[in-house]
C-alpha cells in the first residue's frame, strides 16, 4: 500500500469530472485486489475487485486497472458526484495463501460542487 | 439481513478498565476480523478467526484478546485499557469459500480511553 504518514493523500475533483485514485501494492505474489470506499463515520464498503489474470474490470461508473509489471492499481470514477467524497482504500491478497487482506492507508477524495 | 453489527457504537473508558466489544454477523460467514483504525492510518488487523472456536493474531494483537464461541459472533476484549487503544474498531466478516476475500464491515465502535 501507499507509504504515507499521519495525513492521507487527498484528491480534489470538480463535480462531473473523472477521478483517478492510485495504489502501489507491495507484494508481487498478490493475485487479488479490492477497492473499498469509506464515508465519514462509517465502515468501509466494497466497491470492486479484480484478479491478477485481468488488467481491467468495470463496474457501475467505476473501473479498476491493474498493472502487475509495476505493481500498480488504480480506481477510476466516471462523472464524479458529491456522494463519491470519501476515503478510498485498496487491499491486496494472495488467494491461495493463508493470510488476510492487506490494506493500504487510503486516499481522500473530495468532490467540489 | 442486518449484515455485520457492532455493539456498542461508542464507549469511554478510564485507563485500566476492561471491556468487550461484540460483533455479530447474519451472513453465515466463516471468517471474522477485528481491525483498528487511527487518524490518517489504514486498517490494522488485530485478530481474526477462520471458523468457530479458532482465532489467530493479526498485525497488532498486543493488549487485546478475542473469542469465537459461536460462528456468528466475534468478541474483542481489552483487559486493561490504555490511552494508546483509543481508536475506531471495525469488525468484518467474509465467507471463506475462497480463502481470504471480500470482507464486509460493520459500522465501527469508537473507543476513547482516558
CA distance A82 to A86: 9
Total of domains in chain A:
1
Which is higher by pLDDT, A105 or B40? A105
Task: Return the number of other C-beta atoms located less than 10 Å from residue A27's C-beta.
Answer: 13
Cβ atoms of B73 and B23 within 8 Å: the answer is yes
Per-residue pLDDT tens digits for A31-77? 899 999 999 989 999 999 999 999 999 999 999 999 999 999 999 99
Cell representation of residue A54: 485481468
Mutation target among A100, A101, A104 for the B interface, most CBs of B within 10 A: A100
CA distance B60 to B63: 9
pLDDT of residue B99: 67
Residue A1 belongs to some domain of the structure: no
CB contact under 8 A, A4 and B103: no
Residue A44 belongs to some domain of the structure: yes
Residue A3 belongs to some domain of the structure: no
Beta carbon pairs, A and B, within 8 Å: 57
CA distance B26 to A62: 28
Q: Name chain A contacts of B102, Cβ cutoff 8 Å.
A: 34, 46, 49
A5, A34, A96 ranked by CB distance to B102: nearest: A34
Residue A4 belongs to some domain of the structure: no
Instruction: Give the CATH number of the domain where residue B48 resides.
Output: 2.60.40.10
Nearest CA in chain B to A32: B101
Q: Name chain B contacts of A103, Cβ cutoff 8 Å.
A: 42-43
CB contact under 8 A, B100 and A99: yes
Residue A100 belongs to some domain of the structure: yes
What is the domain range of residue A28? 10-112
Instruction: Give the CATH number of the domain where residue A108 resides.
Output: 2.60.40.10
pLDDT band at A4 (very low <50, low <70, confident <90, very high): very low
Residue A15 belongs to some domain of the structure: yes
Nearest CA in chain A to B100: A100
Total of domains in chain B:
1
Distances (CA, A) of B34 to A72, A113, B94, B103, B112: 27, 36, 12, 11, 17
Cell representation of residue B41: 492510518
CA distance A86 to A109: 5
A5, A100, A106 ranked by CB distance to B45: nearest: A100
Residue A107 has pLDDT above 60, yes or no: yes
CA distance A100 to B100: 5
The secondary structure element, H or E, covering residue A35 is: strand A32-38
CB contact under 8 A, A95 and B33: no
Per-residue pLDDT tens digits for B63-74? 999 999 999 999
Distances (CA, A) of A55 to A9, A47, A52, B77: 25, 17, 7, 42
Choose among B73, B87, B91: nearest CA to B26: B73
Residue A5 belongs to some domain of the structure: no
Closest approach of A17 to chain B, Cα-based (Å): 26
Residue A73 belongs to some domain of the structure: yes
Amino acid at each position: 500500500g501507499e507509504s504515507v504518514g499521519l495525513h492521507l493523500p487527498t484528491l480534489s475533483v470538480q463535480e462531473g469530472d473523472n477521478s483517478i485514485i492510485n495504489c502501489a501494492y507491495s507484494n508481487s505474489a498478490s493475485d487479488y485486489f479490492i477497492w473499498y470506499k469509506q464515508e465519514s463515520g462509517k465502515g468501509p464498503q466494497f466497491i470492486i475487485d479484480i484478479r491478477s489474470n485481468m488488467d481491467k474490470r468495470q463496474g457501475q461508473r467505476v473501473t479498476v486497472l491493474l498493472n502487475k509489471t509495476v505493481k500498480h492499481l488504480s480506481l477510476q470514477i466516471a462523472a464524479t458526484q458529491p456522494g463519491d467524497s470519501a476515503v478510498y482504500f485498496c487491499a491486496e491478497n494472495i488467494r491461495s495463501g493463508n493470510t488476510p487482506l492487506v490494506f493500504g492507508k487510503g486516499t481522500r477524495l473530495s468532490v467540489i460542487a | 439481513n442486518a449484515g455485520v453489527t457492532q455493539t456498542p457504537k461508542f464507549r469511554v473508558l478510564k485507563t485500566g478498565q476492561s471491556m468487550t466489544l461484540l460483533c455479530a454477523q447474519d451472513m453465515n460467514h466463516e471468517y471474522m476480523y477485528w481491525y483498528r483504525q487511527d487518524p490518517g492510518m489504514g486498517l490494522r488487523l488485530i485478530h481474526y478467526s477462520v471458523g468457530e472456536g479458532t482465532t489467530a493474531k493479526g498485525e497488532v494483537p498486543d493488549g487485546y484478546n478475542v473469542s469465537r464461541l459461536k460462528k456468528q459472533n466475534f468478541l474483542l476484549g481489552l483487559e486493561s485499557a490504555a490511552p494508546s487503544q483509543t481508536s475506531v474498531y471495525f469488525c468484518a466478516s467474509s465467507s471463506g469459500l475462497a480463502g481470504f476475500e471480500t470482507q464486509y464491515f460493520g459500522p465501527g465502535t469508537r473507543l476513547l480511553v482516558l
